C-alpha cells in the first residue's frame, strides 16, 4: 500500500518481444500517436518502455542470468531435448525459492502450456501444475518430447525411404519397359521382314511355320533369314 501523501513506487514498463522480425516500433508511446494541435499537445501520453527482444539475446549470456525473463527466453529458444532439459533445470531452480511460491504457481501453469504445445499433446489438467510435482512433471515432459522427436524422425525416415524406393522402382520400371519395348519392336520388325521374304520366294506360308516364326527369338529369326538366300524350298529354311 502507498501511504497517504507518499509518491507512487517506481514503474518500469517492459515489452517482451519474441517475434522473428526485428522490433521497429519507437521506444516511446508518444511517437506512436498522431501529433495533436498545440493546445492539446501537453496531454499527449508519453511513456518510454524497456524493450527485451528475445532473438537479440545471446544464448550464452542468458544461461548466466537467474531471472524469469531469461528462463522464458531460453525455453522458447530451445532446439534440442538437451536445450530443453537445461532450460527446464533453470526454471526449477528459479521456482525453488520459497519467496516466489505464489508466482511459481502461475509460472508452472505457463510452463505446462508451453510443454504441451511444444510436444503437440493435449492440454494438461491443472492438477499436474501442483508445485510439489512441478520438477518431476518438467522432467517427464522433456522425456516425452524427446521420445516424440525420435519417433517423428523414424517416421520421416521410413516415409522418405518408401518414397525413394518407389521413385527408384518407377524409374527402373520405365527404363526396363522402354528397353523391352525397343527390343520387342526390333524383333517384330525382323518377323515381318522374314515373312515377306518367305512369301516372295516360296508363296503362301503354312500356319505351322508362322507359329515357329512367332515363337522364335531374334538370333533364330536372323539365322532363318540368311538361309533364304540358299534354300530351294521353305523346308530347307526351317530344317535343323
Per the model's pLDDT, the better-predicted residue between 172 and 93 turns out to be 93
What pLDDT, on the 0 to 100 scale, is given for residue 26?
A: 93
DSSP for residue 28: B
Distance CA 133, CA 126 (A): 11
Distance CA 133, CA 79 (A): 25
Distance CA 159, CA 152 (A): 10
Confidence of residue 127 (pLDDT cuts 50, 70, 90): very low
What pLDDT, on the 0 to 100 scale, is given for residue 139?
A: 58
Mean pLDDT of 204-217: 85
Whether residue 118 is predicted with pLDDT greater than 80 in this model: the reply is no
Distance CA 220, CA 123 (A): 76
Distance CA 206, CA 234 (A): 10
What pLDDT, on the 0 to 100 scale, is given for residue 157?
A: 57
Burial 143-176 (b: 16+ CB within 10 A, else e): eebbeeeeeeeeeeeeeeeeeeeeeeeeeeeeee
Mean pLDDT of 77-88: 75
Distance CA 236, CA 234 (A): 5
Average pLDDT, the chain: 73
Highest mean pLDDT among 108-117, 118-127, 151-160, 166-175: 108-117
- Residue 171 C-alpha cell reads as 524409374
What pLDDT, on the 0 to 100 scale, is given for residue 25?
A: 92
Q: What is the pLDDT of residues 136-180, one digit of tens each?
A: 555 565 566 556 655 665 566 556 655 666 566 556 654 565 455
Share of the chain above pLDDT 90, in %: 4
Cβ pair 108, 131 in contact under 8 A: yes
What pLDDT, on the 0 to 100 scale, is given for residue 48?
A: 93
What pLDDT, on the 0 to 100 scale, is given for residue 23?
A: 92
Distance CA 95, CA 98 (A): 8
Q: What is the pLDDT of residues 27-61, one digit of tens each?
A: 999 998 888 888 888 888 889 999 988 888 887 88
Q: Is 52 helix (H, G, I), strand (E, B) or coil?
A: strand
Pick from 3-17, 32-46, 51-65, 116-130: least confident: 116-130
Whether residue 213 is predicted with pLDDT greater than 50 in this model: the reply is yes
Distance CA 69, CA 119 (A): 22
Torsion of CA 163, 167, 170, 171, to 10 degrees: -170
DSSP for residue 51: E
Residue 17 is inside which H or E element, if any? strand 14-17
Cβ pair 45, 33 in contact under 8 A: yes
What pLDDT, on the 0 to 100 scale, is given for residue 28?
A: 93
Does the model's pTM come out above 0.75? no
Cβ pair 134, 91 in contact under 8 A: no
Measured N-to-C along each axis, helices 68-76 and 81-95 cross at an angle, to the nearest 10 degrees, of: 160
Amino acid at each position: 500500500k502507498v501511504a497517504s501523501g507518499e509518491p507512487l513506487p517506481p514503474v518500469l514498463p517492459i515489452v517482451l518481444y519474441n517475434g522473428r522480425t526485428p522490433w521497429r516500433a519507437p521506444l516511446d508511446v508518444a511517437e506512436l500517436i498522431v501529433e495533436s494541435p498545440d493546445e492539446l499537445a501537453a496531454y499527449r501520453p508519453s511513456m518510454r518502455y524497456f524493450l527485451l527482444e528475445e532473438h537479440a539475446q545471446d544464448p550464452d549470456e542468458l544461461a548466466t542470468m537467474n531471472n524469469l525473463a531469461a528462463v522464458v527466453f531460453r525455453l522458447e529458444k530451445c532446439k534440442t531435448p538437451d536445450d530443453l532439459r537445461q532450460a527446464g533445470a533453470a526454471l526449477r531452480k528459479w521456482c525453488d525459492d520459497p519467496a516466489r511460491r505464489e508466482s511459481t504457481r502461475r509460472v508452472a501453469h505457463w510452463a505446462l502450456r508451453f510443454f504441451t504445445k511444444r510436444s503437440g499433446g493435449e492440454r494438461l489438467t491443472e492438477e499436474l501444475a501442483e508445485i510439489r510435482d512441478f520438477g518431476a512433471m518438467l522432467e517427464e515432459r522433456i522425456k516425452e518430447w524427446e521420445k516424440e522427436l525420435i519417433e517423428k524422425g523414424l517416421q520421416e525416415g521410413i516415409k522418405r525411404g518408401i518414397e525413394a524406393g518407389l521413385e527408384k522402382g518407377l524409374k527402373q520400371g520405365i527404363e526396363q519397359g522402354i528397353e523391352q519395348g525397343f527390343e520387342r519392336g526390333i524383333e517384330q520388325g525382323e518377323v515381318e521382314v522374314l515373312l515377306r521374304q518367305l512369301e516372295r520366294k516360296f508363296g503362301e506360308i503354312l500356319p505351322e511355320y508362322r507359329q515357329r516364326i512367332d515363337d522364335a527369338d531374334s538370333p533364330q529369326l536372323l539365322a532363318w533369314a540368311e538361309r533364304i538366300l540358299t534354300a530351294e524350298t521353305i523346308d530347307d529354311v526351317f530344317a535343323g
